Structure 1
Amino acid sequence: MRPLNMVASKLGAGDSADFGAGADYDLEKEHTGAVAGATSDDYLRENERWPTAEEESTMVRVADKVPPRAFLIIAAEFCERFTYYGVAGLFQNYIQNGYKVPGSNPGALGRGKQTATGLGNFFQFWCYITPILGAILADQYWGKYKTILVFAGLYLIGDLVLTLTSIPASIRNGGAFPGLIISMIIIGLGTGGIKSNVSPMVADQYQRTRPFIRRLKNGKEVLVDRGTTIQSIFNWFYWAINVGSLSSIATTQIEHNVDWWPAFLMPTLMFVVCIGVFWMGRNKYIRVPPTGSIILQAASCLASGVKQSRASKKSGRVLTGADGKKCSWLEYAKPSNMLDVPLAVSWNDTFVDELRSALKACKVFLFFPVFWLCYGQMSNNLVAQAGEMNTGSVPNDIMQNINPIFLILMIPVFDKLIYPGLRRCGVVVGPVTRIFIGFLLMAVAMAYAAIIQHVVYSTGPYYKNPGNNHNDVSAALQIPAYVFVAAGEIFASITGLEYAYTKAPETMKSIVMSIFLFTNCGGAILAFCFNSISTDPKLVLNFSIVAGLMGGFAFIFYACFFKYDRYDR
């Protein structure tokens, strides 16, 4: 995968100088405050003031400066994604094709298209179920920083296993396949522990919570907003992910022109750099300490809500809100609303409100598995499709890099032109609407892929059974599919990351983020259902069904959640 909109908003010429990504922070002032009695997130600097109620409701909101310490984490994420995509981008060819077969695409294991697709789906599944473990360890025991370091060590071991077992002697003597399975398991475990914590940790580096007015050097005043700043941070974060993912351009060329072990060695060495960069910031990061057994506490709270609501109904007591409507069952879990408060209750009313917020975010995520099902086609079936087309002198698996290249180019356009332009016109596209648009774009991408596959099957000389050969169709026809996938990511995937962080209470950010990442695991599970039609001559059917599912789920999603945008403008 590659993730938000760094909204610059309504700024005049020269205004952006005060909002540059590299601008320095006065760290001491940030922690001590610049006004009497200020807390770490409640202070003013020179040329700043609190807004009036009217200003807060009418002024266009802009992003604050991104703290330099956040960029250390972003740089580390760039290195990690460089490693991940540099390795994972090779798996389809590595597994599918034979080693040094004349006239064939590069390969090593010769296990065929279905096995390659199945193992690719397993790797995706494993990488996105392990974040649950990473989140539990971070939120309950170690904290995000230590958890990331521990899992980074595992990740590096997995990279070394993959590199050492891909040498020619290992491939020829049958050691490459078990080495691949072992490395997939270890790398997936390391990836999960990192992914559930690194994105919440980068957002944690911005500590100011109250909106404030800042006077720029040109005398203009702007309203600086935390939510827009978090979008900015995630936008840089997602941009770095996509720059890092371009590593597969280099690794696929090395695979094609040299051999497999140096192709895997380069991302392994980059991961050593990743650990070093992350370690550099150890004394600068804002570290949110672990808060205890959140999952067990949440489970007890939910069970108590069910039990207390039933008891209240039996006694004829019904809770109503300020609007006179009946309260949800979870409201009965608040100690202040319980008929009899058990001694075992370890939460307060605020915890129940936070849990409700987390559950609300998680409901939105229920539709993402189909999105990731579509996204996963890019690393397996679209790679296989390119292998059946004319790619000239470049390997077929290099085509997937069109996706991050488009993202790298378009994220700044959305950030600096499209979103600010809409805000100046008074149009605020809420997160649910953005996700809906992303879902529709992904459906279009899959429908287009089905059309291209039909063209491939309708063209000679091999038609519907090209095997390891290619028909006379240019792989350039694939470009729009990757562009639509990338556009879908800008609207859906980036917004999903933003939503997971902003809607999660402070004590549950890693857990909620891991649940969002888990939806990718759901996509891999769905992909297993399509494994029987992920081969020739059934790929048209595969792409068509996936496109139809995504389109249908997009409209169901919007019908269920469009009202949420009223509260997220």
Structure 2
Amino acid sequence: MAMEHESNAAQLHQVLDEPSLSNKKEDLSGAPLHPNPLAVESYPTEKVHGGHEDTPTSSEKGVGLVSDDHDHDGFGGERPTDEEKKTLRHVGEPLPKAAFLVAIVELCERFTYYGASGIFQNYVQRPLDGSLGRGALGMGHKGATGLTTFFQFWCYVTPILGAIIADQYLGKYNTILIFCGVYIVGLLILTTTSIPTALAHGSGIGGFIVAIIVIGLGTGGIKSNVAPLIADQYKRRQMAIGTDKKTGERVIIDPAITIQRIYMVFYFCINVGSLSLLPTPYMERDIGFWSAYLLCLCVFLVGTLTLVLGRKVYIVRPPQGSVITDAFKVIWMMIKNRNMDAAKPSHHAAAGKTTVLKWDDHFVEEVKRALVACKVFCFYPIYWVVYGNFSNNFVTQAGQMRGHGIPNDLMQNFDAISIIVFLPILDRFLYPFLRKMRIPFPPINRIVLGFWVGSLAMIYAAVIQSYIYKTGPCFAAPLCDAAKDADGVIQGNNIHIASQTGAYMLIGISEIFASVTGLEYAYTKAPPNMKSFVQSMFLLTNAFGSAISEGLNPVLYDPAIEWMFVGLAVASFIAGALIWILFHHLNETEDQMNALDKDYDEDPTLRRGSVIADRTVGLHAHGKEEA
């Protein structure tokens, strides 16, 4: 790592010491800039395996870049003025092919995750004798919800480990590959301990606990890195003037819109993958749990193979050593001095301090921007409590209703179906229409709307639960002996399982606004070399949501669960309102915050310390005191 820093520093000094830098048009590594910079590397520190380039040279729907002789952004195309940013229509660009390849990998991983975890509730809750339907461990509702909630918690804590390994040591691609191996081991344990012979010999519970720990470690290491990796495949970080080829209209090519679209596609693929819950409940019921887990293992192997075979296509940003440690040092200096600028080298110089810092002013600004995102994320645990109910308590609710041949854990697919249906409508019609009409719909607004639609989903769930209690034969005590059919299997109350569809549709729509925007916000507000870590902070909010859900376990009984749904609806609405009250002003500075990344592409001196000329971010100077 030290050799890599020294090499980068030597290249930096070679560029900075050249007296004719302003005329030579060189990038940070000293390479000449291509006349069409879209065809060359956009980041000085990143590499493209195999030299393949797939970043498009024209924008979406026929919008092409227009070059000018002045005020370029480092990618080709005239940089817009502040007035043009306000008056011209903003558009995105086509997505690079490598982004779709990463999306396919995520699709396979999510197929595995949802296909396996979606049937955990029945696997753990119901007994092996089949008296309540297909089951295995017989731990009851609370036991099953407790274990599945722990699994969700674990899956969203482990991304921190994956992020640290990626950002400081191995890089995103290598980290994903390693944790794919860990994931495969967990799936093998889950599959082999769920076969009938293993269950009969009591291996089920031990194997399940070990499996979810190993799988959680694997999925966490992947999750924190695959989301930033897909956005890394798109290299523009500044706005540029373009022309619509169909109408001749001058437009703004806005990278924020393209990043938004990347995460829309990313989330679309996640939910296509989650349709694994279509076959796995039937395989669980008709063959056995082991068959469903084996299917998930096979699909995951396909995704891993895609990751390996596509390695020459991906744009990979190498790790930057102590960047996370440096960020925490910056935050500590801010807290200790009660000043957000206290960690800036320029602030130290103005105060007459001689301490040598390992970062520049720009890095401090990026950390401040990341902290803004983390403050918004503080409210997400409430949303994840709401969302988590649809993978455990709502499955149990479905089991209290008449299935009419539909497995109770099949209904979860309507969440994914609603996303698959509505996400393209928003991406291709609603959002472009709003931009054309100059109606802003910035991230904070989208997040708030997501929380409020999630609140509606909980209200719907509470209404359904109320109808279950008002319906026979068991009324407020579902699954009583009076509900046994001719085969001795206990059935639910006389309300159709399809009644749940509306709640799943609402939670799916809420995800498009809250979850997709959260992924986008985590990426755009993170420093370039801390994308995985900030993404893990966003994912950690899901773990906190799972912890809150564990705390709600004592009220998971009939009829109290109805009021739990009502309480969560109120909490989600209040959380959304607080986000609006506290953070709606950030909408006005969205472009300015996103514009911080542009400096890495147009000014090579920004990798120098702003006060000490012989420092680069993450490069240690010998013989000097460091912060």
Settle same-fold status: TM greater than 0.5: yes
Deviation at 1:283, TM superposition (A): 1.1
Partners of 2:35 and 2:197 lie apart in 1 by 65
- Aligned 8 A contact 2:38 2:56 in 1: no
Amino acid of the structure 1 residue aligned with 2:237 = T
- Map 1:119-130 onto structure 2 (within 5 A): 119-130=147-158
Letter in 1 for 2:554: S
Q: Residue 544 of structure 1 aligns with which residue?
A: 566
Shift of 1:39: 6.3
Q: How does 1:301-320 map to 2 (within 5 A)?
A: 301-308=330-337
Structure label with greater radius of gyration: 2
Q: Which residue of 2 aligns with 1:5?
A: none
Gap change, CA 1:277 and 1:32, over 3 Å in 2: farther
One-letter amino acid of the structure 2 residue matched with residue 509 of structure 1: K
Q: SS of 1:453's equivalent?
A: helix
* 2:192 corresponding residue in structure 1: 164
Which residue is 1:466 aligned to? 478
Answer yes or no: is the 8 Å Cα contact 2:271–2:420 preserved in 1.
yes
Contact 1:128/1:517 (<8 A) preserved: yes
Q: For 1:280, give the aligned amino acid.
A: L
Residue equivalent to 1:86 = 115
Residue type of the partner of 2:288? Answer: D
Q: C-alpha deviations, 1:443-470, integer Å up to 9, x for none?
A: 1111111111111011110112223531
| Structure 1 residue 302, shift from structure 2 partner | 2.3
| Cα shift readout 1:196-232 (whole Å, capped 9, x = no counterpart) | 0001000000112233344455363443221111111
Q: Is the 8 A contact 2:56 2:96 kept in 1?
A: no
Pairing partner for 2:279 from 245, 250, 258 = 250
Find the counterpart in structure 1 of residue 508 from structure 2.
486
Which sits farther off after the overlay, 541-550 or 428-437?
541-550
Look up the equivalent residue of 2:474 and give its one-letter code. Y
Farther-moved stretch of structure 1 (213-222 vs 548-557): 213-222
- Identify if the C-alpha distance between structure 1 residues 120 and 340 changes in structure 2 by more than 3 Å, giving closer, same or farther: farther
Structure 1 residues 117 and 212 mapped into 2: Cα distance closer, same or farther (>3 Å)? same
Whether the 8 Å CA contact 2:108–2:299 is kept in 1: the answer is yes
Counterpart CA distance in 2 for 1:209 and 1:33 is 17
Offset of 1:61 from its aligned partner? 1.4
Q: In structure 1, what is the Cα distance between the partners aligned to 2:536 and 2:524?
A: 14
Verify the 8 A CA contact 1:400 1:482 in the aligned structure 2.
yes
Q: Find the partner of 1:505 among 527, 543, 553.
A: 527
Tell me by how many angstroms 1:553 deviates: 1.5
CA 1:443–1:206 in 2, change beyond 3 Å: closer, same or farther? same
Counterpart of 2:469 (choices 437, 453, 457) is 457
Deviation at 1:506, TM superposition (A): 0.5
Q: Secondary structure at the match of 1:146?
A: helix
Task: Please report the TM-score for the alignment, with normalisation by the length of structure 2.
Answer: 0.80
Q: How does 1:22-421 map onto structure 2 within 5 Å?
A: 33-35=34-36, 40-41=41-42, 48-49=65-66, 50-51=77-78, 52-53=80-81, 54-102=83-131, 104-215=132-243, 217-218=245-246, 220-221=248-249, 222-308=251-337, 329-338=339-348, 339-341=351-353, 343=355, 345-421=357-433
CA offsets 1:14-54 (integer angstroms, 9 cap, x no match): xxxxxxxxxxxxxxxxx963348996339995853224525
Give the secondary-structure state (helix, strand or coil) at the position aligned to 1:536: coil
Report if aligned partners of 1:32, 1:40 keep a CA contact under 8 Å in 2: no
Q: How many residues align?
A: 520
**CA 1:188–1:472 in 2, change beyond 3 Å: closer, same or farther?**
same
**Residue-by-residue CA offset, 1:277-306 (whole Å, 9 max, x unaligned):** 111221111111111122321222222234
Q: Which runs of 5+ in 2 are unaligned?
A: 1-31, 44-54, 59-63, 67-76, 480-489, 592-627
Tell me if structure 2 keeps the 8 A contact 1:40–1:208. Answer: no
Q: Deviations over 1:143-201 (max 9, x none)?
A: 00000000010001101100000000111221011111001000000011000000100
CA distance in 1, matches of 2:466, 2:246: 58
2:205 and 2:476 mapped to 1: Cα distance?
29
**How far apart are the structure 1 equivalents of 2:161 and 2:231?**
21
Letter in 2 for 1:131: P
Length-normalised TM-score, structure 1: 0.88
Deviations, residues 123-143 of structure 1 (Å, cap 9, x unaligned): 000000000000000000000
1:73–1:35 distance in 2 versus 1, CA, 3 Å? closer
Name the CA distance, whole Å, in 1 between partners of 2:550 and 2:154.
Answer: 13
Distance 1:267 1:112 in 2: 25
**In structure 1, what is the Cα distance between the partners aligned to 2:588 and 2:519?**
19
Q: Secondary structure at the match of 2:252?
A: strand
Q: CA RMSD in A?
A: 2.1
Secondary structure class of the residue paired with 1:408: helix
> Residues 165 and 175 of structure 2 are in contact (CA less than 8 Å); yes or no, is this contact kept in structure 1?
yes
- Which whole-Å deviations, capped at 9, do the CAs of 1:455-498 have from their partners, x for residues lacking one? 10111101122235310011121111111101110111111111
Distance (whole Å) between structure 1 residues aligned to residue 542 and residue 516 of structure 2: 14
Q: Quick check: 1:33–1:44 contact (8 Å CA) kept in 2? A: no
